[in-house]
Structure 1
Amino acid sequence: MYRRTIRFNKLQLPETFNITLSGQNYYVTISYNEVNDRLYLTLEDEDYEALITNEKLVAGERLFAGVVDMNLPREDLVLIDETGQATCVNFANVNRDIFIAIDETFPGELTPGNTDEGIFNPDGDDANMGQDADESDEPEGDDDELDNDDDLDWGEG
């Protein structure tokens, strides 16, 4: 996979840190609610203007999925569960089994059947799968048989 994770110190929550996404600086605050054992994310721009406030971290879901705002980063931030078994993000599993990740997968990369014999296929197009990059359309063998005019029968007629 092509994912970078956003790590934070869960023992010092709430924690605010700077991150660069889409060429812009953002401030991220991760907070923890002990009552319901859930974590929340707040995103601010470089001027500390809140763009997203207290979005709940949900296993397997993309952050800011329902928000359309040109000020948000273009990258998809997703909650990736490394074990494949977590159903929620809580204090015990965050930054151990579940991570906030910058999803840099290609469209269709995770679609079943988009590879042929393990060959990476980012666009999901199977038309050219299985062809080696060094193959050419040139015919094999010696082609100088047709180089001489005497090889052709030029009949007069």
Structure 2
Amino acid sequence: MDHDYIEVSVDDMPYSQEVELADNSYIFKFYHNEIDDLFYIDLFDYDGNLIVAGEPIVINKPLWRNINNDKLPVETIIPLDESGQETEINADNLGETVQLCIDDLG
């Protein structure tokens, strides 16, 4: 199964990038919290208005899974290691073996 991915660069964090999805363009701000050693995303609309702050990137768990907000992307975005080897996300695997998969395959 080949998913589309959202590029992530751990070396450039914190940074923001525009992400074009089927329904809209968004701004994803990626950052790492050294205290809990987790990676997070702040999601903004294309005009820079905050939609959701501090969403943790957790392996195999869809982003924004417990949030009802009409402004969220319609696609399901899941941090996945398609080889099934990784059990957690860290600086060595995020954007390498673990990708933000756009689950648009139905």
User: What TM-score, normalized by structure 2, do the two folds share?
Assistant: 0.91
Q: Distance in 1 between matches of 2:42 and 2:11?
A: 18
Q: Distance in 2 between matches of 1:96 and 1:80?
A: 11
Name which of structure 1's ranges 71-80 and 31-40 shifts more when overlaid on structure 2: 31-40
Name the CA shift for 1:96/1:75 in 2 (closer, same or farther; >3 Å). Answer: same
Contact map agreement 2:23 2:74 (CA 8 A) in 1: no
SS of 1:11 mapped into structure 2: helix
Query: Which residue pairs with 2:54 in the alignment?
Result: 54
Q: Deviations over 1:113-150 (max 9, x none)?
A: xxxxxxxxxxxxxxxxxxxxxxxxxxxxxxxxxxxxxx
Query: Which residue pairs with 1:31 in the alignment?
Result: 31
- Report how far residue 37 of structure 1 moved: 2.0
- Report how far residue 68 of structure 1 moved: 1.0
Q: Runs in 1 of length 4+ with deviation above 6 angstroms? A: none
Tell me which amino acid in the other structure corresponds to 1:9: S
SS of 1:23 mapped into structure 2: coil
Query: Which residue pairs with 1:19 in the alignment?
Result: 19
Query: Which residue pairs with 1:84 in the alignment?
Result: 84
Query: Which residue pairs with 1:99 in the alignment?
Result: 99
Contact map agreement 2:44 2:52 (CA 8 A) in 1: yes
Tell me which amino acid in the other structure corresponds to 1:45: D
* Structure 2 unmatched ranges of 5 or more: none
Higher relative contact order (CA 8 A, sep 6+): 2
- Report how far residue 49 of structure 1 moved: 1.2
Cα RMSD between the aligned structures? 1.3
Q: Distance in 2 between matches of 1:85 and 1:4?
A: 19
SS of 1:62 mapped into structure 2: coil
- The residue correspondences of 1:66-85 to structure 2 (distance < 5 A) are 66-85=66-85
SS of 2:99 mapped into structure 1: strand
* Structure 1 unmatched ranges of 5 or more: 107-157
Tell me which amino acid in the other structure corresponds to 2:3: R
Tell me which amino acid in the other structure corresponds to 1:52: V
Tell me which amino acid in the other structure corresponds to 2:36: N
Larger Rg: 1
